[in-house]
């Protein structure tokens, strides 16, 4: 997450690295999601982290212009979606490779955010 916004670190790489991290920690995260009461806490926390990282990245590529209310809503819906998908993938409900998950993350970017992320 510290590399987000760095000149040589594009959003697509962020998506792949996120999927790779989830894959590397899959057993631990699956156990966490299945056997603790923190399932919703994990989703909320990861959504908040992703929203913050995405906003930071967009600010780094748009010249620091604050996001509009509508843009922030798109950021939130996108982040909630990718975290939800990640949880299903971690729990084995979706059988996909890291590359497939990262590709879906990229293809799911809301249209108003594409100008910043692609």
Q: How many structural domains is the chain composed of?
A: 1
Taking 50 as the pLDDT cut, the residues of the chain under it are none
Evaluate whether residue 109 is within a structural domain. Answer: yes
Task: Give the domain range for residue 43.
Answer: 11-24+38-117
- Please report the pLDDT score of residue 3 as a whole number: 65
pLDDT score of 84: 93
Query: Is 71 among the domain residues?
Result: yes
Within-domain flag for 2: no
What is the model's pLDDT at position 48? 92
pTM: 0.75
The pLDDT of residue 71:
97
Burial class (CB in 10 A: 0-12, 13-18, 19+), 39: middle
Can you give the pLDDT at residue 36?
Answer: 72
């Amino acid at each position: 997450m510290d590399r987000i916004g760095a000149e040589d670190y594009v959003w697509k790489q962020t998506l792949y690295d996120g999927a790779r991290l989830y894959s590397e920690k899959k057993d631990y995260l699956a156990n966490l999601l299945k056997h603790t009461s923190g399932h919703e806490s994990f989703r909320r926390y990861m959504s908040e982290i992703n929203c913050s990282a995405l906003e930071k990245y967009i600010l780094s590529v748009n010249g620091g212009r604050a996001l509009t209310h509508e843009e922030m809503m798109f950021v939130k819906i996108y982040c909630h979606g990718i975290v939800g998908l990640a949880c299903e993938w971690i729990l084995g409900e979706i059988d996909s490779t890291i590359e497939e998950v990262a590709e879906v993350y990229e293809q799911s970017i809301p249209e108003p955010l594409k100008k910043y992320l692609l």
